Amino acid sequence: MTCPFRKIDPSQHNYNVSFSRAEPVKKSWLTKIISFPISLKNSLQDLYAVAVKGNIRTALENRYNRSNYLSQFNPFQKLIFSAEPAVMKEILNASKDDPEGLFLPRNVKSGFSKFLSDVLGETLLPDDSMRTCSDKMAKNFRKPLSKFIGLSSIRNHTQILEEIAIETVKNWGKTVTVEVNEQCNIYTATVISKLMIGHPGIGESYSDIADATNYFNKYLAMAEPRQIFCKKFSNEYKQSVCTIRNAFNRCMTLASTDSSDSLIKEMIKEGLSPIQIKSTFFLSLAAGVETTSSLLTYLLWQLGQDKQAQILMREELNNEKTLYEAATQSVFLDSFFSESLRMFTPVYMLASSKTHPLKFSVKDHQDKVVHEERIDKDSLLVVTPTFAARNPDRFENPDSFEPTRFLNNNEDYSWLPFGFNKHTCPGKNLAIKEIKLLVAEIMRNYEISSHPNEEITTIGYFTLKVSENVQLRLKPLKKAE
């Protein structure tokens, strides 16, 4: 047997990995005593990295070993993570006795579920959230989302998506300097809110919803799972809760009288209860606004640094086409988007908590077991697309931003930035379209430059975010005579 979690040959990928249920093993008191000092030391080091530095991604990176199948991180509980695509797929491709939820959820009594109940103002039951452990309810949550914003249905929203992008760029053009982080938050909150409910609630604006969502993103990173870093009843927390509750309650009322199409109506048709609809809406906001906004902020910063990329992109964005056609048919824009997503993967980790011990096995091409390792009960299995995207075995010059990397390349997100299989992000198609539409509209009308000029840094909260305040200057293009 090899060393724990060790790869047989880092350069060879012809292997099969699997997770299977293992029989419980009771450790002797002597084993526990011997292992305790090392375990405590590692836990304190990891806890310090999260608490003091406030950057979960960086703390994970310090523990990441590319030559291993699996790496360990242990701030609160044992966290075992992988950046190997084959292992990542196996973690996400849950076995039959695993719960089926959006991201392989933890127990309903987790800190997140309690937080969600607090925000919604109602007690959340096991089948009231996309994080449910019930197969039937998990599928019920996904069904209306896939039907409304899936690959085949996203074109139904072409007009509203174009209108939002055009109006957003028009408003950006009225200012000398665009505060990109803030404005991207508002843009993505507007897209999700309008598609979900048709309009913001009475008394709320999209900027209010964006601010509340941004605060909760930071709060969740601090509060999950022990809620030890933030004061729950701070003014900002209470204000954010009030904004979200009011928007939900008023829009649930408006949805019953409004004639416009919305995801809320689709969920009502599917028989979801009011608390289930509000839970889905909040998770869509929490996941969709933050991830899309952060990626868009990073992409615009990169684009503002590269005049040649702007010229190449603008050549493809034919003004004779509709905005939607131009944005979705541009090969260079698609490559620039993919490279941005590789360098900046917003969902940098996805977790799966196991309630029983597992056996991790590696087999060679002759189906011979060459490595086995036991994973204890209640360990948190995590996939880390952010590290898979920087693997030099798969990407040449992985830390360099190369906008043409994905031109004439059949690479299909091998680092799993949107999850995998039944755990694929249901908002994937919407996120891609709304980013490309906004970028295309900007390129059709402006030359841009971004600040800061030096390389920007990132910080891992609940999702990955840009640390600096990015600014954009828009210079109107000269119209052809």
Average pLDDT, integer, range 5-25:
67
Q: Is the dihedral of CA 240, 248, 347, 469 positive or negative?
A: negative
Closest CA to 352 of 114, 106, 107: 106
Looking at residue 204, what is its pLDDT?
56
Residue 65 lies in a domain: no
Average pLDDT, integer, range 163-177:
93
Q: In what order do the strands lie in the sheet with 369-375?
A: 16-21, 358-363, 369-375
Residue 291 lies in a domain: yes
Residue that wins the pLDDT comparison between 163 and 462: 163
Residue 389 contacts residue 349 (beta carbons within 8 Å): no
Residue 63 lies in a domain: no
**Domain boundaries, position 466:** 83-349+384-476
Closest CA to 56 of 74, 39, 41, 36: 74
Residue that wins the pLDDT comparison between 102 and 338: 338
Which CATH number belongs to the domain containing residue 177 in this structure?
1.10.630.10
Average pLDDT, integer, range 205-232:
65
Q: What is the pTM of this model?
A: 0.86
Helix or strand holding residue 459 (H, E): strand 458-460
Average pLDDT, integer, range 317-334:
91
Looking at residue 327, what is its pLDDT?
95
414-451, pLDDT tens digit by residue?
A: 999 998 877 788 889 999 999 999 999 999 999 999 99
Highest mean pLDDT pick, 42-46, 47-51, 160-164: 160-164
Looking at residue 442, what is its pLDDT?
97
Looking at residue 464, what is its pLDDT?
85
336-367, pLDDT tens digit by residue?
A: 999 999 999 998 888 776 667 888 888 887 88
**Which amino acid, one-letter code, is at 379?**
S
pLDDT beyond 60 at 176: yes
Residue 81's beta-bridge partner residues?
71, 382
pLDDT beyond 60 at 233: no
Residue 278 lies in a domain: yes
Q: What share of the chain has pLDDT > 90, as a percent?
A: 28
Looking at residue 280, what is its pLDDT?
82
Residue 364 lies in a domain: no
Residue 376 lies in a domain: no
Beta strands 177-179 and 79-82, pairing class: unpaired
Looking at residue 395, what is its pLDDT?
92
Any idea which residue has 């937080």 for tokens?
115
Residue 17 contacts residue 362 (beta carbons within 8 Å): yes
Residue 7 lies in a domain: no
Residue 8 lies in a domain: no
Strand ranges, E, within 40-116? 71-73, 79-82
* Total structural domains within the chain: 1
